[in-house]
């Protein structure tokens, strides 16, 4: 699992990939990929690459507290 200092450092980068998302959330890469397919998830697609917008990730998680993702 990634610690808060590393997470804040990643915020400076603006985006992360699904592997990094899995580390941030403490889930498998497969689960992280499934999460990116949820409607309104903060992502952009560049070609085949999915990039998660880190500045919007906390808001998305807060809005989905109690939801099964």
Domain borders along the chain are 4-63
Q: Which residues pair with 40 in a beta bridge?
A: none
Task: Return the pLDDT at 10.
Answer: 67
pTM (2 decimals)? 0.77
The pLDDT of residue 69 is above 80:
no
> What is the Cα 48 distance to its own chain's centre?
17
Q: What is the pLDDT of residues 1-17, one digit of tens each?
A: 777 787 777 667 889 99
The second-level CATH assignment, the architecture, of 4-63 is: Orthogonal Bundle (1.10)
Q: Which of the 8 DSSP states describes residue 48? A: T
Q: What is the pLDDT of residues 7-61, one digit of tens each?
A: 777 667 889 999 999 999 999 999 999 999 999 999 999 999 999 999 899 999 9
Task: Tell me the two tokens of residue 36.
Answer: 């990116």
């Amino acid at each position: 699992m990634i610690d808060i200092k590393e997470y804040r450092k990643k915020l400076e980068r603006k985006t992360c990939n699904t592997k990094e998302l899995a580390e941030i959330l403490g889930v498998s890469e497969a689960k992280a990929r499934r999460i990116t397919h949820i409607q309104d998830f903060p992502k952009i697609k560049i070609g085949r690459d999915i990039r998660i917008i880190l500045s919007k990730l906390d808001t998305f998680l807060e809005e989905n507290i109690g939801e099964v993702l």
